[in-house]
Structure 1
Amino acid sequence: MLNVVTGSLHADLEPILAEDLQRFKADDPFAPILIIVPSALLRQRLVWFLCVERGMALLNVQILTFHHLALRLVEEHLGASLTVRPPYFLREWFHLMLRDYARTVPLWKPISEMPRAWAALWATCKDLKDAMVDARTALEAAESLGWTQTTKAVLHLYQRVMEEKQTAKLFDHEDLTVLALEPSQNSLFLAQHRQVIYYGFYDLTQVQLDLFHRLARQYPCTLYFPLLLDHPACVFAQQFFDRYIRGAVTGSYRVIAPTPSPLHKVFARQEQDAQQPAADPQDTLSSPVAPVVTIVSVSGIEDEVASIAKQIIRWVEAHHLQFHEIGVVGRSLSGYETILPRVFSQHGIPFTSTMSLPLSAFPVGKAAVQALELRLSGFRRDRVLDLLSSPAVSLAQLCPELARPRPDVWDLATRRLGIVKGWMEWERIPAMLHQKDAFSRELETDHLKSVADAEQLAGLWTAVSTLRERLEQFPACTSWGEFVDLTAAFLSWLFGLDLSGYEQCGGQAEGYSYGGGDELGGMSKQDRFTLGDVLLQQLNALRDFPQGELLSFADFVAAFHRLMEEPAIPVQSREACESGVQVLDAMAARGVPFRALILIGLTEHVFPRYLQEDPFLKDTVRRALECDLGYKVPEKLAGAEEEKLLFFWLVNAAREWLTLLFQRTDQQLEPQVPSLYVDEVRRALPAVEEVTVPRPLLQKYQQHVPFFSDDLLTPREHAVRSALLRQPLDGWERSDTVRDQLLERGIPCLHAHEHQGPYLGPYDGMAGFLESWWQAAWERGFTPTAVERYARCPFQYFVHYVLGLKPLPEPETVMELGPDAVGTLLHDLLRVCFMALREHGYFSDASTTSVDLDELLNTVARPHLQKWGQAVPVGYAFVWTLKQQQILETLRHVLQEELAELGKGQWTPVLFEESMAGSCVLSTPHGPQVVPLQGRVDRVDRSSGAYRIIDYKYLTKSEAPSVHQILRDVMRGQRLQPPWYWALAPSVLSKIAHMPGGGATTPPDLECAGVWFHIVTSPSPASSRGCLVMEHVSPEQWTAQLRETVERTVWALLEQIRSGRFFIFPGSYCKGCSLRAICRKTHAPSLRRVRLDQHHTRLHRDLRKATPESSPDPEGSRMSKTPSR
């Protein structure tokens, strides 16, 4: 016999249930009662309500969920429990079956190769399975109703799935209910209960519905069904009630008049005001106080969660609520798994939740996937370094000889070595260890020598080669079981775990949860062992897949990766137990009331969720299966009414306070559309309070936003507010932490950064005289490149030469050689080609008038290119092949032009890529000054009575600069090689004199014929080779007036360097500057001071305008001989 009670879910059904329980037990307190509820949370709620709030003993009262009822009936019938497979296992099993089925039905082959597609197809088959659809009957209906071929294919596939599943004896939670149908009619367990009570559901699957009907016919049964008759929000529940419940009622049917509440007006039509049918006055309960409703608009998920935390703190401190009386509910909690625990931890809020994190969110799971994928990715450098830097990896297993492994050093060394991926590139490490001198100038930098010491590089090579040896033990194809054993052994070794008994592991992992803090970024040794046990336990589940069929290593790694993405670690504060804030998704929160409730994520397509038809089984087919064949297959688009019902019961679950939050923009400031449900609450409750939380932090503190008042701020937020308002902490806000000490020193710095005066200050790069650095720089000598960099931007000079910072190479981002690399490569190729010609006597033998360029390129240049490609990242192989051909064609053309030009002037190359050091006397306002210089000369040619200096340049543009432009750049300090080379003339003569045969002409007899700029331009669209342009700066052009002006300019630049003036000086070069991330060009006050300070920046301003016809006036930058700060 079935009795039915309908009413409001929270305010009415709970008290009626308590009264009926007392009535059932009035004559016999030990009368057995069974209460069946949809979820574990609702079961927990009923226990709390009946025991704590109503003080009932619940003697011989059992409260079971749907799943536990089915499990109890199956165990009673079979005498043993069945193995229930998790959703992941059945989804992967379906994938294997679909791949096999696709061999005979090609329609499914593309679907079987797309993980999201076959997962959606499995969801369709599961809908049919849960509805207990008979495949043969459905196929007959498909023929008679003219369904599409795709629908028929889905039904055939479903038939195959059910056959294979029955053969393999695989069961999920719904299958337990199917097995419980037959024993439910003669169950001794059910027969002993005086009353069977169903409570709280408003929809059932076909399986659960069949079990409910059998119990209602066989045993005294009462259903407490949440329903407000004729209310627009309850259309979904009323349709279910009318179709499947009303006709089965054989006993009493009571309608509890709803307790008046303003929130019942939500979704109600204006003309009805949510009125209910008249009911017995004794069934009407007293009306509670209407809750206080607040609508909050935020920008981004961080502000949303922060507002939640502060609202909770306010309720607890001002209104004395207990944490467990507060609920935070969202339609989906996806995206909150890491942010909410962190923010709640900062505010000291304990919580329990239905959220879970996958193992891939933790270092253990991430490192496990990275390690297995190394073999498939060709040992990509970034992935190898990510793995070796993981806190989960035991480096003692990989490189036991290193006392202190340095992954940061390994990263820098592999970047400089140009390793991207592939074992051939990794073999550059032992090659470098076995040779003292690296191959190219790119590898000969001091930076590399400082980090790539032999011990650390040897340890890196040991670690990488050991990883490779271990991964090579995995066969290309084998069974699931063997892959599981090999993976378990490999990961246990990698993480330093104990492998013994991993098949039964999980004892340590039980009860582990993520509660915020820093567990995701780092982990203790105990956490590594615990999470490692969870990983091995999940891995062991793969052993139950069919063992007869072989699978590839790539397929196993893909399945393992999907396994690591499955939720496995519950998210809750470890001290919460059952006394924390309840953070629930909307489905889990059904039937759970709260004193204070916060609804989050109220944006369109989130709540209500985005609805779309099943692409494999349209709603028309689903409707036909339900209406014509009697199988309850839910329609997808009908979920809109369920969304409305969910929201209605949630807002009515709040007893005293209700807060609705929506994001007007996301974290990236993309606009978001608020949920239409927010507008519905505004319509139903015109007097609702609305709060807008501004996005800028400064406005939060200045506008006195309720959620960001001083008494609700955390210590970190107090420090941030103090920094933004430029107010030091005082009183109770102060502490002895490093953060507060940093703040105390930082606020004066911020004031200095932001002052609006027309002069540069100490935080604008005016560092003052740096004595020790200047002394070292003076002893080394100044290069033209360094002084050019200072003339272009003093801040660039400061970063590169004073701080010694250089941008990290990113080998993975190299698609092809850039212009700088091509220029360096052409320098090297020209050097080795000319040296080869000299060694073969081309320049010394007058009878040699021609050279075989093809042979020269094949024997000298091409091997050099191949070595270069093995030493530095060159991008894609095909592009590199094309680039080599282009470089060789350009080199051929340049050599032809060079040799022809050498033959005309009887010049003979004698020096190549020579470092020079010397000094020169500069004319300065304070008299002659001796300045040490150094530089590298690309090439020196000599003739019978003169020598010349060749400087190679590679330009990406096809138009080379003229002599006038070169002299203009000399005047502006942008091209200082000519004056530097003339100043280094004694050093050049000394080098020539010490060459074999150089003494035939004494150094004083040689005169400098000038500086030649041999400019190689990039290939034009009409030609695959570049062209060579020769520009000559002769001694006649280097006039005394020009030389004096340049000398005074260089001295003024050196004086500014000595004085420590390293301010920013923006220009067109800023677009390609590698220091944009640390430059203050975008800081308005700093840029304003640079523009207004005419005294310190006068030299650089004048240099920008200098031409050979006019000279800059360095007087504005004169310094006294006594260095000043």
Structure 2
Amino acid sequence: MLLIGPPGSGKTRFVLEKILTAVREERGEEVLLVVPTASMVRHTLHTLARKNGSIPGNTVQTLTDFTVRLTPGIRTPSPALSAWLLKQIIQEVDIATSLTQNQTPGLITAIERTIKDLWAAGCNANQIKKFVNSQTQKSFAEVFQHYERRLSELDYVSPLKRFQSAATNIRNGDLGSLREIYFDGFFHLTIGEQELIQATLENSQKTIVTFVEKPDQCFKGLSIHRLKKIYRPYCTPTISRAVTPTHEIEEIAHRIVDGINTTEHSFADYGIVLRSPKIYEPIIRRVFERFGIPFRCRLSKPLLLHDNVRFVLSLLRAADKGFPAEETLDALRNPVCDAGKPTELDVFDFDIRRKLPGNGLSFLEQHATPYPTICKKLADLHQTVEWSQQTSLLTEWTERIDNFYENWSRKPEINDGLPILPCYDQILDWRSTAQMASAFRSSTEEAASILSISGRDRVSLNTYLNMLEFALQRTSVPVPDDRRNVVHVLPIYEARQWELPVVFVPGLVENQFPRPSKTNLFFGESDRENLQRNGIPLRSSRDYDDEETLLFQIARTRARQTLFFSYSQFDEQNKPLLRSFLLKGNDREHDRILNPISLCTPIPSYVVPTASNLDSTDLRKWITTKHASFSPTSLEDFIQCPYQYFSRHTLDLEERPPVPEERFDRKLEGNIVHRTLAEWSQDRSVPVLAILQDVFKSECQRNRIPTTVRTLASLYRMEEDLTQFSADEASACIFENVVHKHEADFQYVTTGYRGNKTCIRGRIDRYEAIEGKYAFVVDYKYSTDSSIRKLTDDEEGYVQGPLYLLGLEQELGLKPIGIQFLGLRNKITRVNKVLDGSLPTTSGAYTETLPERDFQNFLKQGLQRALNGIDKIHTGHIKVDPRDPDRCKHCNFRDLCRIRIES
């Protein structure tokens, strides 16, 4: 019987009742339900078990498993073998066309997809050669023919032939005791699947196939029954508009948490249906983990991305390269690796990174002596030191790497017996670890098998690892997860047999839901129509568009009570998105449009926010003692953000040392320029470029920075800038009878708001003592003109200049008359802020003159900002409150305060 009905009409319910009836009548071995995917098998078995309690595990199977059961002696190629064969054939076939001359990363995928489409339409290489016209199509047909020939030589068959063999075996009586077979959850059937179902129909007492609409293919002897009544009425959707996908998922998380707190729903009552899992699954994982929401993603991912596999491969890659220190460190810091306490690993990591570059286990072991666990891990790696120099048999590499995985992969702790209350996380850990280990061993065998097919018995470690990664990337393994009280994250194809009280459907934008039909590289729309007219039902773009509409109908019928649709205005790269046309105008718009979240947004309101002040009296006393003196730069850090100051200066958190290639940054450039100018000022008879060369070489040696194109380019730029400065400096003398002081230390002592003495210390780049009475400060900045302008326009965040002048006045009795900001990058920029009447007219400088009263206010306000900051520091003020949010993207502590950085 062909059972037809729209989504929500009860087709699956009808089939499950038939299965349950047979089981209750003790005919369980006579019935079989065939579904498309393995996760649908698990879900269906759980549904049947909850209704009956005793269901044989083989009552529900995938179509692939059903076919394998019927054809035990037949093999189809794995995804890795298929991709490798096509890659080899493309390189071997001598066809002077763009197909082989201009290989693109997606070429093999495009060929493989087209071959699968043709097999699904019942077409082989010999048949398609009759319909090719263009040179590209002829080249494809040639590759297709070679591919089928290679499969035959290796004793593999196409899925089409396997289905046909299964159909033949069914006609020969291989169904055994099966009497009733049900096919549910399929959208469309390939020619091979149709032949199998037709054979089942002819050789079983009852065969039922469910479809949404009557399919193009007709089965002989199959009656049609249409379900017209909707078993589950449509829920009126609530539609929300967000700014980005992240905001979209955050809104969903808020609704789930509110629902848990205010209704009787559990997490298991919520589901998220995804049409674009690659976009939304990482966001869901990140947001839900932050919100503390348990969830289960019913998505298979490549074995290469699983934690144990990534860790083991990273160590093997390091061994193949001779254990470069940076790569080996990154591998040892993997959470899977039990190489000691996290604090020990951090200290070891920082110590090694300061000493980079370095190579080899001996380099690492020299600095690992204080850490016994790390020493033991490094010693265990000595067995692999010679591997990179060896060429071994494939069987030897397979055995070595399997043993290496067994010894180095993380294994969950197993106690004697199970706890009285089962720990589902622990059981899940056991299952997933065992499954990953089995899948990894299968991948090493497959890698060796493919290399053997290529005619190589002995290979290097690098060659073996390349093939192993190739196989791991194309092997998908679902993580077994049978937790019940979790939010279900379902790809749309997995949601076909699900129904939940509350369902969210995000991502309703054009090109995501619905997805546009993919343009075929070899057969366009007109070619497909021609093939259809000639009896080869290759799917057209209209078929794919109809499927997208069907998927939307499925998505909107998964909810029993509440349905939420949402879409974003922009993607994560801030590119505009278009609302999906599947959302009709008569759908009810939600009355609250989600507002954009600003650059600085705290974590969700129901999470305890970070405290703004430290309440402990002892902590405040400790902070007051620790911060008895301040530098102007540190006070500017506090003015920018109290939490930044707390992290950098109070907690003394150390930034992770950069690798050698990243050490030559803007800060180091500024230090080199400042040091060069300080030495040049002592003896201007020495050319400034000669001093720069010496300073550059000294700093690179001290910081262990290799000479690269980047460092040389920075050096040449500094040479140009300092050459320009030295020429400009000769003609830029402002005052007469002046004494220049460079890199001069100063100290300013004042009384704070609470009556305590406070000392501010620092170093002035340069000041000029004029006639022994007046002080004029020059503040070097290795910055561009625009940065200097921005600095001078933002007086509220600047305290250095006023504190320098006040310190000189207090220590030396020099009256402050002005400050100059001197920018040196790209061009010389001089910006003066001076007392009216004290500065002669100068060319090439922007000068702001202030009356005596305003100039004194400038100094007092700078001091006031400094004292205000000191008072807040001593009272434990640590609020996350950046003055200039644009600077947060460069802050090394933003992951601690978890501020949101928007593009």
Q: Do both proteins adopt the same fold according to a TM-score greater than 0.5, normalized to the shorter chain?
A: yes
Q: Which amino acid aligns with 1:117?
A: L
Change (3 A) 1:313 1:535: farther
Change (3 A) 1:958 1:120: closer
Counterpart Cα distance in 1 of 2:285 and 2:384:
37
Q: Does 1:866 align with 2:697?
A: yes
Residue 339 of structure 1 deviates from its aligned partner by: 7.3
CA deviations 1:869-926 (Å, max 9, x no partner) are: 244487982232233345456667888999999xxx99999x9979x79x8999999x
Q: Does 1:614 align with 2:520?
A: yes
Q: Which amino acid aligns with 2:347?
A: V
Q: Which residue of 2 aligns with 1:641?
A: 546
Residue 391 of structure 1 deviates from its aligned partner by: 1.4
Q: Which residue of 2 aligns with 1:140?
A: 130
Counterpart Cα distance in 1 of 2:408 and 2:693:
43
Counterpart Cα distance in 2 of 1:301 and 1:938:
50
Q: Which residue of 2 aligns with 1:1018?
A: 824
Q: Which residue of 1 aligns with 2:71?
A: 74
SS at match of 2:519: coil
Question: Does the CA contact (< 8 Å) of 2:31 and 2:59 recur in 1?
Answer: yes
SS at match of 1:162: helix
Residue number among 649, 669, 673 corresponding to 1:822 in the alignment: 669
Residue number among 190, 207, 212 corresponding to 2:192 in the alignment: 207
CA deviations 1:228-261 (Å, max 9, x no partner) are: xxxxx73xx34333xxx3xx44xxx6444644x3
Question: Does the CA contact (< 8 Å) of 2:767 and 2:776 recur in 1?
Answer: yes
Residue 155 of structure 1 deviates from its aligned partner by: 0.8
SS at match of 1:868: helix
**Which stretches in structure 2 are left out of the alignment for 5+ residues?**
243-247, 416-421, 840-851
Q: Which residue of 1 aligns with 2:388?
A: 474
Residue 974 of structure 1 deviates from its aligned partner by: 0.7
Q: Which amino acid aligns with 1:164?
A: R
Q: Which amino acid aligns with 2:192?
A: V
Q: Which residue of 2 aligns with 1:303?
A: 251
Q: Which amino acid aligns with 2:696?
A: L
CA deviations 1:967-1024 (Å, max 9, x no partner) are: x99x9861655775687789xxxxxxxxxxxxxxxxxxxxx9x999999863756xxx
Question: Does the CA contact (< 8 Å) of 1:95 and 1:112 recur in 2?
Answer: no
Question: Does the CA contact (< 8 Å) of 1:181 and 1:211 recur in 2?
Answer: yes
Question: Does the CA contact (< 8 Å) of 1:786 and 1:797 recur in 2?
Answer: no
Counterpart Cα distance in 2 of 1:337 and 1:959:
41
Q: Which amino acid aligns with 1:207?
A: G
Q: Which amino acid aligns with 1:158?
A: F
Q: Which residue of 2 aligns with 1:166?
A: 152
Residue number among 34, 37, 54 corresponding to 1:37 in the alignment: 34
Question: Does the CA contact (< 8 Å) of 1:327 and 1:583 recur in 2?
Answer: yes
1:106-145 superposed matches below 5 A: 107-109=98-100, 112=103, 114=105, 116-142=106-132
Q: Which amino acid aligns with 2:482?
A: R
CA deviations 1:87-127 (Å, max 9, x no partner) are: x323432354245336766634466551x332222111222
Change (3 A) 1:651 1:1028: closer
**Which stretches in structure 1 are left out of the alignment for 5+ residues?**
76-80, 228-232, 264-287, 397-402, 434-453, 499-506, 509-514, 684-688, 699-718, 725-738, 754-761, 838-842, 844-849, 987-1007, 1084-1125
SS at match of 1:189: coil
1:491-530 superposed matches below 5 A: 491-495=405-409
Residue 161 of structure 1 deviates from its aligned partner by: 0.7
1:687-766 superposed matches below 5 A: 695=594
Q: Which amino acid aligns with 1:388?
A: L
Q: Does 1:394 align with 2:221?
A: no
Counterpart Cα distance in 2 of 1:923 and 1:340:
53
Q: Which residue of 2 aligns with 1:154?
A: 140
Residue 584 of structure 1 deviates from its aligned partner by: 5.1
Q: Which residue of 2 aligns with 1:94?
A: 85
Counterpart Cα distance in 2 of 1:773 and 1:327:
49
Q: Which residue of 1 aligns with 2:236?
A: 294
1:278-289 superposed matches below 5 A: none
CA deviations 1:198-246 (Å, max 9, x no partner) are: 6775632122233444565x6467554546xxxxx73xx34333xxx3x
Q: Does 1:541 align with 2:446?
A: yes
Q: CA RMSD in A?
A: 7.1
CA deviations 1:669-713 (Å, max 9, x no partner) are: 987655545539x68xxxxx8766764799xxxxxxxxxxxxxxx
SS at match of 1:406: helix
Residue 495 of structure 1 deviates from its aligned partner by: 3.6
Counterpart Cα distance in 2 of 1:189 and 1:5:
23
Counterpart Cα distance in 1 of 2:589 and 2:470:
43
Residue 141 of structure 1 deviates from its aligned partner by: 3.3
Give the stretch that moved more between structures: 561-570 or 767-776.
767-776
Residue number among 779, 795, 801 corresponding to 1:974 in the alignment: 801
Q: Which residue of 1 aligns with 2:162?
A: 176
Question: Does the CA contact (< 8 Å) of 1:296 and 1:690 recur in 2?
Answer: yes
Counterpart Cα distance in 2 of 1:169 and 1:39:
26
Q: Does 1:574 align with 2:479?
A: no
Counterpart Cα distance in 2 of 1:536 and 1:811:
37
Question: Does the CA contact (< 8 Å) of 1:111 and 1:118 recur in 2?
Answer: no
Q: Which residue of 2 aligns with 1:408?
A: 346
Change (3 A) 1:589 1:223: farther
CA deviations 1:288-323 (Å, max 9, x no partner) are: 6x63623122441343466578879999769xxx97
Give the stretch that moved more between structures: 767-776 or 618-627.
767-776
Q: Which amino acid aligns with 2:388?
A: F
Q: Which residue of 1 aligns with 2:847?
A: none
Change (3 A) 1:136 1:312: farther
Counterpart Cα distance in 2 of 1:129 and 1:363:
36
Question: Does the CA contact (< 8 Å) of 1:359 and 1:567 recur in 2?
Answer: yes
Change (3 A) 1:486 1:536: same
Change (3 A) 1:569 1:774: same
Question: Does the CA contact (< 8 Å) of 2:319 and 2:388 recur in 1?
Answer: no
1:328-367 superposed matches below 5 A: 330-331=274-275, 333-334=277-278, 354-359=298-303, 362-367=306-311
Change (3 A) 1:660 1:563: farther
TM-score after normalising by structure 2: 0.67
CA deviations 1:927-970 (Å, max 9, x no partner) are: 9x99978666889999xx9xx99989455468999xxx9xx99x
Q: Which amino acid aligns with 1:619?
A: E
Residue 390 of structure 1 deviates from its aligned partner by: 2.0
Residue 160 of structure 1 deviates from its aligned partner by: 0.8
Change (3 A) 1:983 1:553: farther
Counterpart Cα distance in 1 of 2:17 and 2:199:
26
Residue 130 of structure 1 deviates from its aligned partner by: 4.0
Residue 159 of structure 1 deviates from its aligned partner by: 0.4
Counterpart Cα distance in 2 of 1:937 and 1:812:
31
Change (3 A) 1:588 1:824: closer
Counterpart Cα distance in 2 of 1:225 and 1:542:
39
1:51-70 superposed matches below 5 A: 66-70=63-67
Question: Does the CA contact (< 8 Å) of 2:777 and 2:805 recur in 1?
Answer: no
Question: Does the CA contact (< 8 Å) of 1:329 and 1:599 recur in 2?
Answer: yes
SS at match of 2:715: helix
Change (3 A) 1:864 1:479: farther
Counterpart Cα distance in 1 of 2:137 and 2:651:
68
SS at match of 2:237: strand
Q: Which residue of 2 aligns with 1:600?
A: 505
Larger Rg belongs to: 1
Change (3 A) 1:822 1:679: closer
